[in-house]
Structure 1
């Protein structure tokens, strides 16, 4: 009797297991006519196009947008390896935008310049929070009345310590707060003494304003970067707690207009690489504004005809930036984008492209335009780079 009960129990268990298996929804893998989850999508093009193999930039280049403190964490071994990458890819000089202020500049300079004095330069950064508590903006340094004056003094010190300019991170406008908890506005006139000091110091200001437009739109079926924002929801700035994309850009451009003697870089193609006519309009209006390419060849490369015309027309106002240090394969894609007429190739080495499910096309820019984007514009705007560049470039002929 006991054996029969055990056998019946086993039979019931097997039956229930079988029912559970058959009751399961089919896998959403897209196979055999099944639905497909976007996270399982791995498109492989059947387009057959001839790639151009490049072994480095056509001319020794200056990368004006890199992050050696943030990305390499002051690892000597990683720095040594990346300098080898710079040699192979013909990057003469990288500008690290992570200098910070005071003794932190000295620390960063020691890391970058002890072994490689001709290969790196630095921009300073403002410390908006200071010793204040993260959740208490009333305690933050930027809300003290003397903050602009002290920052102006600190920037003069930063120049004496070797910095060539000022980098402002996107937290200005999207994160840093007033005493009442509202976000600081980019065009807040309290901070005008800082931009004025940069003019007097001949300290260009490279400022990251906003992010791609899709990051300010609802994460829904109409958002062309839904997959990316689904994986990284913290990148979304949609909602009443954030200013709109166009409001951030308008505020920045008002600062550029108020300070015509200060040179500005609109980082990441002025924060609006999807809208080249809008960038053209502000470049026409503000001769003290320039743009750089960091992390935006994805946007430019999917509009090849418009982007090529733009880069040629505004060849004196565009600089090379990569947002690196990156793996060597990604750097090669910058040269391929700028130099070749290749069609439909990736803009990133990652399995999931970080900026949308699309491919890009090469610009095939003339040599005179490449020279300006790769190094001539940087040397004109940042003359402190010239000695470093000439020394490094001599080894790359």
Structure 2
């Protein structure tokens, strides 16, 4: 509250609320009304506290802060998600994948370009490349030409997906890993041009565990046994996936890289910290929020210290998919509530419930850490400035 602002409610506690003193109250109130025009002329105006002066945000600050969600998949021309993002002050990156299921890559990119045309101030998009032509001799040249065309159409980053390492095979039947020599040429092109790369390499460690030993993924892998690697020991191991990704970063130290889903190291903050220390240009998104809540449940202080130590390397994201069958009102309410709940976890120390485990306290990270995680780190990684 401004120091020179005279507030009547500050006077009331000093006056005994009795019948004989009511005249004093009336006189004081009249005096306050008399002074109002003078105060207005001298610039005494009511305003909210400057948010930049606060050491910590609150739940109520959610709609006062610009935020960025670095991991969104829009699979429809409908704009209802973007309308909710605008309402909640979220900017975002729409990501195109080369998936063997769902909406094909070219259609995903068409949706991204459509929305970029209509909402250029609210979003950016990351393109990708196909591997169905992997065994063709001109794959590298064709892929780079495709990426250049995508950049001309507005893409600002590239996504490399888990099909490399988990689906793609060479002519002799061997799995193609992300550190394959042919991929080096593509990564050198990205590195030389400072083009950001988002890498979904491998899967959560749960993927290689029996269902009963998993933390949060029983439902998905129970419904999709074809992706449950515990059932497919002939496929590359979890360690194979992580080692290939690490080797890729060793070979390309200047690559502007973000590991999706906590770099597939969601199960161990120690292992994630080792990679962030070893690869200075590596960042990760924090889309596996249940794992972070579990770390907080087990050791809140340790988790909080991790966030503060690596505050320049963590980027907020949700991995939200927006599909044609979504009901607009339900989708908008769901994503708003998710954004709000995760804001509460990161900025407050309110008690929260982690299903299957129990109650934990939010991390209540300092304002400057929140600013980095929710906007500044994405801005630096994607090399963009906020559009007004």
TM-score (norm 2): 0.73
Q: Are the structure 2 counterparts of residues 367 and 279 from structure 1 closer, same or farther at C-alpha, using a change threshold of 3 Å?
A: same
Per-residue CA deviation, residues 247-304 of structure 1 (Å, 9 max, x unaligned), is 101110110110112111111001011111111111111112111112x110011112
Structure 1 residue 153: Cα displacement: 2.5
Q: From the superposition, tell whether residues 280 and 191 of structure 1 become closer, same or farther in structure 2 (CA, over 3 Å).
A: same
What corresponds to 2:164 in structure 1?
172
Deviation at 1:232, TM superposition (A): 4.1
Shift in CA distance, 268/232, structure 1 to aligned 2, threshold 3 Å: same
SS in 1 for 2:120: coil
Report the 3-state secondary structure (helix = DSSP H, G, I; strand = E; otherwise coil) of the residue aligned with 1:167. strand
Conserved 8 A contact 2:77-2:115: no
Distance of 1:361 and 1:88 partners within structure 2? 28
Residues 297 and 337 in structure 1, CA contact (< 8 A), matched pair in contact too: no
The unaligned stretches of length 5 or more in structure 1 are 1-51, 130-140, 347-352, 392-397
CA contact (8 A) 1:302 1:359 kept: no
The answer for unaligned runs of 5 or more in structure 2 is 1-57, 99-103, 322-330
Shift of 1:357: 6.2
SS in 2 for 1:82: helix
Question: What is the Cα deviation at residue 53 of structure 1?
Answer: 5.2
**Is residue 323 from structure 1 mapped to residue 356 from structure 2 by the alignment?**
no
Could you tell me whether the CA contact under 8 Å between 1:263 and 1:288 is conserved in 2? Answer: yes
CA RMSD of aligned residues (A): 2.5
Q: Deviations over 1:96-143 (max 9, x none)?
A: 1118799768733442123211111111111111xxxxxxxxxxx111
Q: Determine the C-alpha separation between the residues in 1 that align with 2:274 and 2:165.
A: 22
Q: Which residue of 2 aligns with 1:159?
A: 151
C-alpha distance in structure 2 between counterparts of 1:197 and 1:118, whole Å: 28
Q: Which residue of 2 aligns with 1:75?
A: 77
State how far apart, in whole Å, the 2-side matches of 1:108 and 1:226 are: 29
Q: Provide the rounded CA distance (Å) in 2 between the counterparts of 1:171 and 1:267.
A: 14
Counterpart in 2 of 1:230? 222
Cα distance in 1, alignment partners of residues 359 and 236 from structure 2: 30
Please point out which of 70, 80, 83 is paired with 1:64: 70
Counterpart check, 1:341 vs 2:349: yes
Find 1:128's aligned residue among 112, 126, 131.
Answer: 131
Task: Measure the CA separation in 2 of the matches of 1:226 and 1:67.
Answer: 20
The CA deviation string for residues 151-181 of structure 1, in whole angstroms up to 9 with x for no partner, is: 1222222222211110011111111221233
1:255 to 222, 228, 248: 248
Q: Which residue of 1 aligns with 2:83?
A: 84
Any idea what the Cα deviations from partners look like across 1:39-70, whole Å, max 9, x if unmatched?
xxxxxxxxxxxxx855736621111111113x
